Structure 1
Amino acid sequence: MTSEMTARMLRLLSLLQTRREWSGADLADRLSVTVRTVRRDIDRLRELGYPVDSARGHAGGYRLAPGTDLPPLLLDDDEAVAIAVALRTAAGGLTGIEETALRALAKLEQVLPRRLRGQVTALQTALSGITWETRGPRADPALLATLAVACRDHEILTLDYTTRVGTTTRRRVEPHHLVASGDLWYLLAHDTDKDDWRIFRLDRISHPTPTGRRVPPRELPGTDPAAFVANRLSAAPTRYRAIATVQAPADHVRARTRGLATRIQPLDETTCRVDASADHLPHIAQILIGLEADYALDADPDVLNHLRNTAHRTLRATG
């Protein structure tokens, strides 16, 4: 096999790994060869043991099918560095993935070129992380993977979803994006029955079932996925209401809190309003403590009682 052919086949394999399905014409265009050459290269990949499926017809679609073993992944320098750093810092908000991430990292670093090892080490030494015991719900990696594939392939899913009041219904959705906020993960999807965009917490999703039907991607109205989810979450009803008028600029508060997004509204150059409403009283207390500024609070009686009791315990503990 000539060096030119080898390079072309490696490029072909890399393309097959980036998308679920390619037409012969698209591959030929990307590789600057004829469709006939693509067919020959596909046959050579099959001879080497790569499970490449093809669809009959004029378009001649190809895809890298699941096999008995995971085929080698081809990564460029930036992808390799990103994966290595992500594996080293893995597992925030995910259950049971720490040991698996370390095994994968060991395999990757064993074959990293020396020039990339230096980049990974530099990035890692420049970053620090604090691991807290997670009290809230954690996402299932298998569920996360299923939803990620559905988002990538624009494939309709059916799933069971349990609402905040405990009722469970079967939903049919077009997955669009996964969004992480703190320790929680959300699926942004278009609900086909309600004909509207919906946000689903991953810890409340069960029995996701791919339908095999792929649809053209819908255009999200007006903004990017993270901002869309933040806006919807800030407008969603919560169990406890807590609104703080803070004696600090909005930018100052935003820099010292996370996950509040549009829930911080400037009133003037020196004050802002923060919507700290939530379903859990300790979460509200955590938000208010993180403000690091004086504030006036308009809140439900249950919120005020919880804050008073917390303050009294703190005072007793400090004598």
Structure 2
Amino acid sequence: MNNRKLALMRLMDSRKKFTARELAERFQVSIRTIQRDLNDLQELGFPLYTEVGVNGGYRVLPNRILPPLQLTQHEALGLFMMIEYLENVPDFPYGSIRGHLAEEYYSTLPQDVQDLITRMRQHITFLQHHAVQAGAVTTEILGAAVDKREIEFIYHSRQGHKKVQVVPIGIYYDHGYWYMPAQRKDRVLLYRVDRMQELVMRDSIDESVPSLQEWLNLKENRESAEVVLQFTDFGARLAGSDVLFKSVEDNEWRGLVPPEEFPFTARKLLSYGPEVKVIEPLELQQQVREMLERSLDQYNTL
């Protein structure tokens, strides 16, 4: 495919309508050449249609095929590795396309690049522990968040099963799980997506719900307590890849945490074992101790 046809695809994909004369003048070729280019694009599957009459012209169908990328070999290899990585992220939104995309993209590459990718696969892998969820709902949640639409689902929590109606703010992926912050009345609550079932879209729309980025950038307005943690050298290295504790300085972490999030914070700290100690507040320290004692109780013999 020559550069003119690629440029023609990009221009037509702007969703505007063009006459053959306008296109010919823009590309400084004859009308016959433009018509031949358009016929070639249609044969390749580019969804053009023609409107006849005085106000007619060429337009692209809504379900269009986007123009191909023009990449260097390094960029092509990097893109394929990113697709490979995404294969390891469970329940990825629109994830059903990943296998198809990798196969289609791979088949369009030159044979020597395909051979190089085959060899590279023997020297790289992505190890990732994650939960496997049947019937992923991340795609539906993301669509509802964009539309600011209320959803209803059954949520499986420690207290049992309950029906929930909320407006999702968005989703984010952290340590093998997808999380959904969502607004219910005047509160924002956090749900683990793999615990959601029987999701139903509702008609209610709430334009006041913020986007995920807006929510993340909001200042915490809940009453919070200062938390001070002391990490070992190894613990500080582990914390460097942890979204919650990555701002460790001189093996110490300080931050504001709402008391209602202490149980969640305590469970996170348990994963560090002896590599972290809660200095303050005493309430969080006590919750960590209680969780440790419950863990030890499982191994006590009568």
Fold equivalence (TM over 0.5): yes
CA deviation vs aligned residue, 1:236-294 (integer Å, no higher than 9, x gap): 899xx995521458x935754422167x565xx452236684549754422x33x8345
Look up the match of 2:270: 285
Does structure 2 conserve the Cα–Cα contact (< 8 Å) formed by 1:161 and 1:168?
yes
Match runs of 1:32-111 below 5 Å? 33=27, 45-46=41-42, 49-52=45-48, 62-66=59-63, 74-77=68-71, 80-89=76-85, 90-94=87-91, 101=98, 104-111=101-108
Counterparts of 1:93 and 1:235 in 2: how far apart (Å)? 33
TM-score normalised per structure 2: 0.55
User: In structure 2, the residue corresponding to 1:86 is in which secondary structure?
Assistant: helix
1:111 partner letter: T
The structure 1 residue matched to 2:290, chosen from 305, 309, 315, is: 305
CA deviation vs aligned residue, 1:108-129 (integer Å, no higher than 9, x gap): 3333225644774687566443
Unaligned runs of 5+ in 1: none
Does structure 2 conserve the Cα–Cα contact (< 8 Å) formed by 1:161 and 1:169?
yes
1:168 partner letter: V
User: In structure 2, the residue corresponding to 1:77 is in which secondary structure?
Assistant: coil
Aligned pair count reads: 272
The structure 1 residue matched to 2:178, chosen from 180, 185, 194, is: 185
Does structure 1 conserve the Cα–Cα contact (< 8 Å) formed by 2:83 and 2:102?
yes
Aligned sequence identity (%): 12
Indicate how the Cα distance of structure 1 residues 132 and 231 shifts in structure 2: closer, same or farther if over 3 A, else same. Answer: same
State the 1:22 CA deviation: 2.9
User: In structure 1, the residue corresponding to 2:129 is in which secondary structure?
Assistant: coil
Indicate how the Cα distance of structure 1 residues 200 and 304 shifts in structure 2: closer, same or farther if over 3 A, else same. Answer: closer
Counterparts of 1:124 and 1:139 in 2: how far apart (Å)? 28
User: In structure 2, the residue corresponding to 1:87 is in which secondary structure?
Assistant: helix
Indicate how the Cα distance of structure 1 residues 243 and 120 shifts in structure 2: closer, same or farther if over 3 A, else same. Answer: farther
Does structure 2 conserve the Cα–Cα contact (< 8 Å) formed by 1:248 and 1:272?
no
**CA RMSD, 1 decimal:** 6.0
Look up the match of 1:130: 127
Counterparts of 2:71 and 2:80 in 1: how far apart (Å)? 11
Unaligned runs of 5+ in 2: none
Counterparts of 2:78 and 2:96 in 1: how far apart (Å)? 19
Counterparts of 2:238 and 2:279 in 1: how far apart (Å)? 17
User: In structure 1, the residue corresponding to 2:147 is in which secondary structure?
Assistant: strand
Does structure 2 conserve the Cα–Cα contact (< 8 Å) formed by 1:245 and 1:296?
yes
User: In structure 2, the residue corresponding to 1:91 is in which secondary structure?
Assistant: coil
2:254 partner letter: R
TM-score normalised per structure 1: 0.53
Counterparts of 1:149 and 1:52 in 2: how far apart (Å)? 28
Indicate how the Cα distance of structure 1 residues 248 and 131 shifts in structure 2: closer, same or farther if over 3 A, else same. Answer: closer
Counterparts of 2:192 and 2:8 in 1: how far apart (Å)? 37
User: In structure 1, the residue corresponding to 2:295 is in which secondary structure?
Assistant: helix
Is 1:22 paired with 2:39? no
Look up the match of 2:229: 245
Look up the match of 1:273: 254
User: In structure 2, the residue corresponding to 1:272 is in which secondary structure?
Assistant: strand
Counterparts of 2:262 and 2:91 in 1: how far apart (Å)? 25
1:245 partner letter: L
Does structure 1 conserve the Cα–Cα contact (< 8 Å) formed by 2:230 and 2:253?
yes
